[in-house]
Structure 1
Amino acid sequence: MIRETHANGIKLTYREEGPPDAPLMVLLHGRTADHNGWNGITQHFAKRYRVLVPDLRGHGRSEWPGAYALPDMAEDIAALLDGTPAVIVGHSLGGIVAYHLAAAHPELVERLVLEDPPPPRPITGRAPLVEDDSTTFDWAMMHQTEAQFIGPDPAWKGAVRTITAPTLLFSGGPGSHVPSAEVAELIPGARLVTIDVGHLIHENARAEFLREVDAFLS
């Protein structure tokens, strides 16, 4: 079911599936995607979780407010949770939002699953963004998040080191352009699983991804 709410001062659209009284899980998509990026994954976990799958701000049918600080995007999810702890799963940009949420609101994150998230340090060698005719996301979001990938706040690395939630981190291996294994080195006790299928692990190796997450959550 597609729902809307106001969270952190903006409209968030999200998909909800699963029993209403089940434990809560939130799936956070990657940059330029929306809740449909988790199709199939959502249904798998909805057998035993109440699963919320938001369109992040600047994406899909959520509001495009023109301001896209990564910590603000994490606060959107904190407001969506409204005090209820959850399992948080985030891919790529959604992984950054997830680890900001876990650092700022440890009481809201029971377990953390990060899929190939960019690390909180300057990333160099990225090609300049070139706008095309894509209309499913805000190009201002692309430019502002890109600037934060290239020049993140130096305090973010220290914040990630404070994460207390049990954490499973997937790296896409040499086939991925993202050095996500660095994030596992920052989070105390994080378990690193490398699946050499590139950046889209939950799509390119779905069965293995689900098997590892199920084992982690059990």
Structure 2
Amino acid sequence: MIREAHVNGIKLVYREEGDPTAPPLLLIHGRTANHNDWNGITQHFAARYRVIALDLRGHGASDFLGPYELPEMAEDVVALLDHLDIGRTTLIGHSLGGVTAYHAAMNHPDRVERLVLEDAPPPLPFKNRPPLVEDDSTGFDWRMMHDTERQLVGPDPAWLEGLDKITAPTLVLSGGEQSQVDTGELAARIPGARLVTIDVGHLIHTMARSRFLQAVDAFLDA
């Protein structure tokens, strides 16, 4: 079911599946994607969770409204939880969605039950990034690309210290040597985080769906 919520000053569109009385699980897609990036994943989790997959601001059918500050995008997620009357949830985020998820977890530790970060970059300067060049791609706001790129390349140093505030059990999934993301450093900074490598590159949940689901299920069932 596709729905929309007007929260934190913007319209967020989201998809909901599963039993509305089941434990909540929220999926956050990566940059330039939308809730459809989780097709096949949502159905798997909907067997035992209330699954919500949103379009982040600047993506899909949600509002294209900046500025696109990463902590504010995390506040969108928390505001959506408030709208849905969800106190605590499992958060699963890929790439930019993972960054959004860990900002939510460190700024609102009481709202996150468990945290899964799929090949999400740590808040450290992202070196050797090629310049961002616009093309005719659609489905997202190019201002979002420039705003988030600036923060990925030069993150606020306070964000690294903020990772210490995460209290939720955390699984960090690495794409291995085929990915340019330093997930090992992210896992080292989050208290008690578990690091699992699935050596298929950045798009773990699409390139190795069964292994992704197996790793996440094992973590959620622990």
Shorter-normalised TM range: over 0.9
Matching residue of 2:167: 164
Letter in 1 for 2:199: D
Q: Is the CA contact (8 Å cut-off) linking 2:109 and 2:165 kept in structure 1?
A: no
Letter in 2 for 1:2: I
In 2, Cα distance between the equivalents of 1:149 and 1:27? 21
Matching residue of 1:57: 57
Letter in 2 for 1:41: I
Question: Pick from 80, 89, 94: which aligns with 2:92?
Answer: 89
Matching residue of 1:190: 193
SS for the counterpart of 2:137 is coil
Matches within 5 A, 1:192-211: 192-211=195-214
Matched-pair identity in %: 66
1:16 aligns with 2:16: yes
Q: Deviations over 1:84-130 (max 9, x none)?
A: 21000000000000000000001110000000001101111100011
SS for the counterpart of 1:4 is strand
In 2, Cα distance between the equivalents of 1:161 and 1:205? 30
Matches within 5 A, 1:43-192: 43-82=43-82, 83-192=86-195
SS for the counterpart of 1:26 is strand
Letter in 2 for 1:28: I
In 2, Cα distance between the equivalents of 1:32 and 1:182? 24
Q: Deviations over 1:125-178 (max 9, x none)?
A: 100011011120000000000000111101000001221100001000000021
In 2, Cα distance between the equivalents of 1:66 and 1:81? 21
Letter in 2 for 1:88: L
Matching residue of 2:5: 5
Please state how far the C-alpha of 1:66 moved relative to its aligned partner: 2.3
Segments of 5+ residues of structure 2 without an aligned counterpart are: none
Please state how far the C-alpha of 1:212 moved relative to its aligned partner: 1.0
Segments of 5+ residues of structure 1 without an aligned counterpart are: none
Letter in 1 for 2:2: I
Q: Is the CA contact (8 Å cut-off) linking 2:95 and 2:120 kept in structure 1?
A: yes
| RMSD, aligned CA | 0.7
